[in-house]
Structure 1
Amino acid sequence: MSLFDEALEAAGARSTGETAEPIDEAPAAPTQIPPLRRGPGMPSSTWRLRSDAWEYLRFAVKRLVHGSEEDGELSADHEIWHGLRALETIEMYWAGFGQRYVAGVADLLRRGEFETALDRIGRVVGRLRTSQLTDEPSDGAVEEGERGELEEDRDPRPRFEVLIVDETTAADRDAIRAEARRLRNPADDFIYDYVIVPSADDAVAAVLTNPNILAVVVRPGFIARTKQPLSRDLLEAIALAHGEAGSRSSAAISALPSVRRVLALADTLNSVRPEIDLYLMAGAHIEDLAGALTKRFRRVFRREDHLELHLSLLRRISHLYDTPFFGAIQEHARRPVGVFHALPVARGGSVVGSKWIGDLAEFYGLNLLLAETSATSGGLDSLLAPVRTLKKAQDLAARAFGAKHTFFVTNGTSTANKIVHQALVSPNDVVMVDRNCHKSHHHAIMLTGARPAYLEAYPLNDFAFYGAVPLSRIKQLLLDYRAAGRLDEVRMITLTNCTFDGIVYDPERVMAECLAIKPDLVFLWDEAWFAFAAFHPVTRRRTAMAAAKRLEERFRTAEHEAAYEEQRQRLFDEDGTPKADEAWLSERLIPSPRARLRVYATQSTHKTLTSLRQGSMIHVYDQDWVREAEEPFQEAYMTHTTTSPNYQILSSLDLGRRQVELEGYELVQRQLDLATSLSQAIARHPLLRRTFRVLTAHDLIPAELREVGRPMPLRDGLATMWRAWTHDELVIDPSRITIEISRTGVDGDTFKHDHLMDRYGVQVNKTSRNTVLFMTNIGTSRSAIAYLIEVLVKLAERFEEIQEQRDAALPQPVEVPMPPLPDFSAFAPEYATDAVLPDGDLRAAFFRAQRRSGVEHVSPTELRERVDRGEQPVSAGFVTPYPPGFPVLVPGQVITREILDFMAVLDTREIHGYDAVKGYRVLRT
């Protein structure tokens, strides 16, 4: 259900905010205007509900103004009143127009002043579409109290909103807003509006529903419980937010003393939207409060310090807006210089006067050339030794993503992964790694000389791709190394979060339970497809950096120490010997408070946030950074980073960081909502659901790994998603919609290229034999979703027509069944470390294959014959279907019948390391 569901529209529901009286019915005849009401299961999309409600009111009232005679009056149950009652609550949490404005529109409609009401509604629609006033209102439509708002709407400066939490009267609210307008200065770079709510519940509701809020001012006069008619979903989400911050509910907050009440609300708001700045405005004894509250609040003010608050708000937003490297690039482009270094394209020197390549400047623009310079010329900061603008830009990115350190990478996450591996791993260290992770991890292991111990993800044979690695399997392998006396050799574990197909781990749980077995284990989380997750209150909890921070805080508590000691009594004998594996596998393990958190995350910023291609980041949350990692990391960074980095990529990373700090929540929430809309459109459309099937958590995650168990939690509401992402071992990223297409009669690759791309220009990243993956991102629009649905309908009609025209007398094509997905077979004996554990020497096999005399090419047919004779041919290289980009074979691996069967029916057009003419590269015996 939406955050404001049908209960909000009940006749008895009313607000106790600014509205003088509840919006009630007006008598009249029925109309034929299409209803606004939501069907069951609509996504938790307040931004869309708000926009659609105002758009619908505009449409409906316009019908009243210009329609037929029977449309000229309002019936008691007209949809207009349902929309107005919904907006009466929604507008409490948004700045600008507010509940009183909604009540004013309702009053005009009751009096039959439809044209004036239409003018006011159009003013809101204009702001929602453009953030500024578009049409000049007629003089008769403007009341004196509205003129200040209209002036704001004409202001072109970037606008944000500030939440005030305090129980106030309508007169107080007017005075606060008037004071804010009085303090506004033409020289200010930004403007802001106030959202004023009376309770802790309303404060949480506001930051959950209104992404424009970038600061919160808490005044101790707030109450605990909301008086708004909120939906069950939103009320449950508010309770979950309070609980995650340490207090069970708003009722618990209300029972606390004043200072603790303020602290509890601050903790809740920080857990939901950590990018928001908190300020406290108090009365007496603020000197005493300041020392106790500085960790939660940026500043503490007396109530009369409006100017200082105003300046602080603008100053803080300017810090978020700051893009130091992009600013330096702009300054460099504007500055006249003489170019005497080795970069002819700089300043357009080799382009502008050319007779043959002038179209480069015409196409890309002169600024691209003016911004180019040599990294060693001294004009801009150096990526390899940043000390000014680039260093500051990376520090700002660390703040945004919750890391202790962040590093920019200009040649993709493949390079980022190699940097981290080389920095942390030495030859013969064991690295536990998901066999299905990106090929760059396998290449990095080869380069470092580490020995991979491959972890097997569960196979999804019906859909021809892998899932994720269950935590029980990871724990078992660690326990196997401990039993063999080799646990000290295990250095690092690498997992992909989230996977290409959207399966997301619980990093906090994985790291905690692994550290309980090996307290110094290093973690590398490949978050190539998950950079966006840091900017939504639900998805953030499953990012590596957020999980590391929570673990660090938990390790410091007395409760954790006590729980650890209690569990230790159960897991160890009196002499300190660990008990049998069954005991360790049956419990949720608690790590020692003295375990070391060494967590790294690599992200393809360009894949899910704003950045030019190959723009990536490495985030670090390592408690032993200075002592153990800083110097080797810098060496690895210099090893793999070009001395001539692309400054345009670096600028885009700087700008992408600014964007997500200022509007990331809004963009990510919209991304998730639109994906849910797509899945629901397919599920509900009669033709689409006959042709396609949306795969859910029930299809992609085994039941034993799902505690909440809902197939698509976000479809049920934000609270259901929140519970699933808190409790389930594995979840599905809602922005990824996997469609099963078996009933179309074509395979995934053909569907992608011949139908989606060539016929309609729809681009997708990944298919399997019988699935297609659609991903929404922060740039996806509602129009794009509508177009995709239109395309799918046309394709479904086409496929049905082909099926109907097929001559029933002819034999139907026989579908070749997909063989089971192959597990990692084994390293050949000469490359295996021992016959007990799975790790092996990938590097030795790789370099043996570099000698021509050590390799032969064998056709698939001959290779199958050798396997049938009982031979064990050994792969000489990586064989990697792309996408998704993980190796089916690695150097030193035994080639089995299962692998050959899988490769024989693989329909991916691009397979790295395999030559269709020569065959497989195999090590000579």
Structure 2
Amino acid sequence: MNIIAIMETHGVFYKEGPLRELADALRQQNFQLIFPGSSADLLKLLEHNPRICGVVFDWDDYGLELCPEINQLNEHLPLYAFINTHSTLDVSTNEMRMALCFFEYTLGVAHDIAQRIVQYTDEYLDAITPPFTKALFTYVKEGKYTFCTPGHMGGTAYQKSPVGCLFYDFFGENTLKADVSISVTELGSLLDHSGPHLEAEEYIARTFGAEQSYMVTNGTSTSNKIVGMYAAPAGSTVLVDRNCHKSLTHLLMMSDIVPLWLKPTRNALGILGGIPQSQFSHESIEAKVALTPGASWPVHAVITNSTYDGLLYNTNWIKQTLDVPSIHFDSAWVPYTQFHPIYNGKSGMSGERVPGKVFFETQSTHKMLAALSQASLIHIKGDYDEETFNEAYMMHTSTSPSYPLVASIETAAAMLRGNPGRRLINRSVERALHFRKEIKRLREEADGWFFDIWQPEDIDEADCWPIEPGEDWHGFRDACHAHMYLDPVKVTILTPGMDQQGTMASEGIPAALVARFLDERGVVVEKTGPYNLLFLFSIGIDKTRAMSLLRGLMEFKRAYDLNLRVRNILPDLYAEAPDFYRNMRIQTLAQGIHDLIQQHELPRLMLNAFDTLPEMALTPHQMYQQQLRGNVETVEIEKLAGRVSANMILPYPPGVPVVMPGERITDASRGVLDFLLMLCSIGKHYPGFETDIHGARLGEDGIYRVRVLKE
């Protein structure tokens, strides 16, 4: 970590001696030194090497120009300016707020200066390390002997076994020493919100613009249940986004509450749209209450923001309009919206309080930020009962939480603070924008077909692009003005075969085929639709990864145009069914799946299948109770119509339920079943392209079966 950049002095004799002495003294203190030749070189190094912990430079040569530019990159970085007796200390008020220290060009004092740089470096590292992480680091360095859990005792137990040694060597000493017991009092308690854990929550709340934040160590699936358990008492009614994550369906199965569905749109490509503004009106909710047995005016609402495909709401409008006292924004996929101006007014914690309302926002810190898997946050703005909320929190939180996981949540927040954090998110946005432009450029230059990208025509600058009425590019029939916006870091690539309005071409390349090709070359797609592929440009995506994706897409085009054999370009797919794919070529496979999709009239299914929801015969909670009593049976999925589904049924992708527990598919909602049968048909005809359908079990005979309420 300890790298010091020393700017060159352009051959001035009386300056070179003291700087050489200082360089030798810093090496004795175990600093690594680098010597940029210019301000531009230094700024590039600082931008791409966050391990640099200080800059030494000549005040007369660099000071007035260099300091503000470094400050824009990292306002906390220690700066060491050398001056002589003739230097003019023209220091502005802004520069006085920097970590700026002055030294004179004098021989024989290098050791003292190096000691001060060591001190300032330690202070810098201490200042940027968040409170819980700092306490955990300190505890590990102290090396205490404990006689409590966990049983591996800081990794000691692993070293008593051959396979344990393999595990120890893979994960490393500090990881295992940081896996400590809740009995370590100096680290406080995650459940009691005390000590460094409490400091971490306060630190995170300030970072994300919340009034209170909670760290959750088993994912946003759990965060969603915690909020719901607190906000919706038994017997109450809740508004739920129909495109909700399955964790919210599980909440409905756990809690005896009545759901009213907020029904979003989809376009012909299967891209999940938002909930239209009309669904939020008092009249619309009143009508839902009147049509739903046992329903009353809702006490709570859950909205998925953003959608899986990267559409963000105008959350300020929703907060002011939606007439419920408690609103939960499930923002699992967008924990970064507080840190770039293009997201203003589009997040759960944006804006001020609204009298009489409380807002919750849940975020998967691990999905798009730098935290370990299962890291999640709950943010709150507004008045709530802290003690009752904590009971719901403890219902779902282990009494033995992972402390390395807690530290990763806090560190992810720390990475977003100040200028370095804003630069991190801005770089992610800019990289996604550059990639989008590259796809467009390659499409214009391509010989024949090439991939397209789902976005407006003109995207010269980074922005969240509005889904406006009357525009063809997005394909949503009933878009609302200033309501939904496309997040630039969620990049959707389109394959040939169907346009946004649902017009099918005679030839096509289903996206699942491209996804298989990329996967066999080490590029994993986040989500695959019929003719679209979703890629997430998180802060961890660098130019190398972006170029690998571009290269993979170009390699697919080359292989497709040459019409190579499946066994040569998709060896893993060939290995799954060698007899079926023995002589098949890639264009034959693509066209076969495309023809099958046409036969099932996919555009009609996508636009109409979800217009009419299945009928709620039982609430999800009531249906689960029937399951517990064994009052269920199994039928082939083709026979699902007219029966009450025991489980939620959701195909991956996109991983949102299409049938809820307790719902019955009627003639009016038959399109949902037709959609599921189409997915089943593709896998039946083409091995390796089976759809993962949660709630339906695929048997060895190739038939999907589902559980239903006994008649």
TM-score by length of 1: 0.57
Residue 778 in structure 1 maps to residue 539 in structure 2? yes
Change beyond 3 A, Cα 1:908–1:390: farther
Whole-Å separation in 2 of the counterparts to 1:395 and 1:768:
40
Change beyond 3 A, Cα 1:373–1:688: farther
Judge conservation of contact 2:509–2:590 (CA < 8 Å) in 1. no
- Structure 1 range deviating more: 678-687 or 405-414: 678-687
Judge conservation of contact 1:882–1:912 (CA < 8 Å) in 2. yes
Counterpart position of 1:859? 636
Judge conservation of contact 2:647–2:707 (CA < 8 Å) in 1. yes
Whole-Å separation in 1 of the counterparts to 2:214 and 2:48:
41
Residue 145 in structure 1 maps to residue 60 in structure 2? yes
Residue 845 in structure 1 maps to residue 652 in structure 2? no
Looking at secondary structure, tell me which structure has more helix per residue: 1
- What does the per-residue CA deviation read over 1:142-169, in whole Å, with 9 as the maximum and x for residues that have no partner? 999327699999x9xx95279xxxxxxx
Q: What amino acid is aligned across from residue 223 of structure 2 in structure 1? A: A
Residue 543 in structure 1 maps to residue 347 in structure 2? yes
Query: Structure 2 matches for 1:323-722, cutoff 5 A?
Result: 323-378=130-185, 380-460=187-267, 462-475=268-281, 476-480=283-287, 489-514=297-322, 518=323, 520-547=324-351, 549=352, 552=354, 595-623=355-383, 625=384, 629-662=385-418, 663-685=420-442, 686-687=445-446, 690-696=449-455, 706=468
- Structure 1 range deviating more: 124-133 or 633-642: 124-133
- What does the per-residue CA deviation read over 1:709-731, in whole Å, with 9 as the maximum and x for residues that have no partner? 7969xxxxxxxxxxxxx972111
Residue 742 in structure 1 maps to residue 528 in structure 2? no
Secondary structure in structure 1 of the residue aligned to 2:345 = helix
Following superposition, the deviation at residue 670 of structure 1 comes to 1.1
Change beyond 3 A, Cα 1:827–1:800: closer
Whole-Å separation in 1 of the counterparts to 2:472 and 2:271:
22
Q: What amino acid is aligned across from residue 517 of structure 2 in structure 1? A: H
Judge conservation of contact 2:623–2:662 (CA < 8 Å) in 1. yes
Change beyond 3 A, Cα 1:689–1:783: farther
Q: What amino acid is aligned across from residue 656 of structure 1 in structure 2? A: A
Change beyond 3 A, Cα 1:803–1:731: farther
479, 487, 508: which one aligns with 1:733: 487
Residue 823 in structure 1 maps to residue 584 in structure 2? no
Change beyond 3 A, Cα 1:540–1:610: farther
Q: What amino acid is aligned across from residue 510 of structure 2 in structure 1? A: D
Change beyond 3 A, Cα 1:452–1:188: farther
Following superposition, the deviation at residue 409 of structure 1 comes to 0.4
Change beyond 3 A, Cα 1:159–1:889: closer
Which of 1 and 2 has greater Rg? 1
Residue 919 in structure 1 maps to residue 679 in structure 2? no
Following superposition, the deviation at residue 674 of structure 1 comes to 1.1
- What does the per-residue CA deviation read over 1:803-831, in whole Å, with 9 as the maximum and x for residues that have no partner? 99989999964242315133275565753
Judge conservation of contact 1:682–1:689 (CA < 8 Å) in 2. no
Judge conservation of contact 2:617–2:663 (CA < 8 Å) in 1. no
- What does the per-residue CA deviation read over 1:217-264, in whole Å, with 9 as the maximum and x for residues that have no partner? xxxxxxxxxxxxxxxxxxxxxxxxxxxxxxxxxxxxxxxxxxxxxxxx
- What does the per-residue CA deviation read over 1:473-500, in whole Å, with 9 as the maximum and x for residues that have no partner? 2214224258789995311111111111
Following superposition, the deviation at residue 794 of structure 1 comes to 1.6
Judge conservation of contact 1:413–1:616 (CA < 8 Å) in 2. yes
Gaps of 5+ in 2: 1-6, 9-34, 50-56, 78-86, 104-112, 459-464, 475-479, 498-506, 566-583, 680-688
Whole-Å separation in 2 of the counterparts to 1:493 and 1:143:
59
Secondary structure in structure 2 of the residue aligned to 1:816 = helix
Judge conservation of contact 2:648–2:659 (CA < 8 Å) in 1. yes
- What does the per-residue CA deviation read over 1:163-218, in whole Å, with 9 as the maximum and x for residues that have no partner? xxxxxxxx9994449977555786478989xxxxxxxxxxxxxxxxxxxxxxxxxx
Counterpart position of 1:909? 691
Q: What amino acid is aligned across from residue 900 of structure 1 in structure 2? A: L
Whole-Å separation in 1 of the counterparts to 2:167 and 2:655:
33
Whole-Å separation in 2 of the counterparts to 1:127 and 1:858:
68
Query: Structure 2 matches for 1:309-320, cutoff 5 A?
Result: none
Judge conservation of contact 1:433–1:494 (CA < 8 Å) in 2. yes
Secondary structure in structure 2 of the residue aligned to 1:603 = strand
Change beyond 3 A, Cα 1:188–1:322: farther
Counterpart position of 2:643? 873
Counterpart position of 1:751? 514
Whole-Å separation in 2 of the counterparts to 1:810 and 1:161:
57
Counterpart position of 2:25? none
Residue 126 in structure 1 maps to residue 41 in structure 2? yes
Judge conservation of contact 1:159–1:191 (CA < 8 Å) in 2. no
Aligned residues: 581
Secondary structure in structure 2 of the residue aligned to 1:545 = coil
Change beyond 3 A, Cα 1:659–1:320: farther
Q: How much identity, in percent, do the aligned residues show?
A: 26
Change beyond 3 A, Cα 1:910–1:320: farther
Change beyond 3 A, Cα 1:661–1:727: farther
Following superposition, the deviation at residue 396 of structure 1 comes to 0.3
Counterpart position of 1:21? none
Change beyond 3 A, Cα 1:489–1:436: same
Whole-Å separation in 2 of the counterparts to 1:810 and 1:358:
47
TM-score by length of 2: 0.73
Q: What amino acid is aligned across from residue 635 of structure 2 in structure 1? A: V
Query: Structure 2 matches for 1:150-169, cutoff 5 A?
Result: 159-160=74-75
Whole-Å separation in 1 of the counterparts to 2:102 and 2:36:
29
Change beyond 3 A, Cα 1:471–1:697: farther
899, 903, 916: which one aligns with 2:672: 899
Whole-Å separation in 1 of the counterparts to 2:148 and 2:65:
54
Whole-Å separation in 2 of the counterparts to 1:468 and 1:339:
52
Gaps of 5+ in 1: 1-95, 98-119, 135-141, 163-170, 193-313, 553-594, 713-725, 832-840
Counterpart position of 2:462? none
Whole-Å separation in 2 of the counterparts to 1:728 and 1:810:
42
Secondary structure in structure 2 of the residue aligned to 1:332 = helix
Change beyond 3 A, Cα 1:747–1:687: same
Change beyond 3 A, Cα 1:598–1:812: closer
Q: What amino acid is aligned across from residue 626 of structure 2 in structure 1? A: R
Change beyond 3 A, Cα 1:806–1:603: closer
Judge conservation of contact 2:39–2:66 (CA < 8 Å) in 1. no
Whole-Å separation in 2 of the counterparts to 1:810 and 1:187:
68
